[in-house]
Amino acid sequence: METLNLRQIAEKIIVGILITILGSAIVLLFKDVIKKIMNLDLSMLKAYWLIIGIIISIFVFLLYLIYKRMKFIKLYDLKNTENVVYDIEWMEGEVIEYEGVKWQTMIPRIPLGTLTPEIAVVPVPRCPNCGTELEEHVGFWGGYIWECVNCGFKKRNKHNFDRESARVLKIAKQRYKKE
């Protein structure tokens, strides 16, 4: 069973309230038209042809926007991520918790006594509950949804894996300098 956080519950409540208000407003705006249609008196509709045309145009335009957004989401979700091949051998470093998920840092495997400023971050975070790599999907209303396929953990974020991993790299470099 999916658990909802406070933000998701608030969104569902707000959407329900908005749908109720919009439905009531439409009924109040067109109550005369609805009465005429129910009585089969179509003379009133001639006066509202412009309004009805505008409403239909707006509806078609909104369907077009929804179609474009769905197409973008589908293309984004299907994109292939390329594997990065490094010339040097890496070993796991510190795990940094950022934005509610775990990010694995990597440091080069080098001979003792050799100092290097190199540090990297695995661009795909891990689930804070079970440690499985997360999947990223584009949210319909913007932002990204990070999801664990193992335990069902979900998190919404404004930015994608790439941008957040760049931020984690900055944090990791700062911690590395302090040590």
pTM: 0.52
45 has pLDDT over 60: no
Residue 82 predicted with pLDDT over 80: no
**Angle formed by the axes of helices 6-29 and 31-38, to 10°?**
60
**Domain extent listing, the chain:** 6-78, 90-178
Do the beta carbons of residue 145 and residue 73 sit within 8 Å? no
The predicted model gives 143-151 an average pLDDT of 88
Q: What is the pLDDT of residues 158-175, one digit of tens each?
A: 888 888 888 888 888 888
> 3-state SS string over 76-101?
HHHCCCCCCCCCCCEEEEEEEEECCE
Asked whether the CA dihedral 76, 82, 83, 86 is positive or negative, the reply is negative
Banded pLDDT at 112 (limits 50, 70, 90)? low
In what helix (H) or strand (E) does residue 162 lie, and over which residues does it extend? helix 161-178
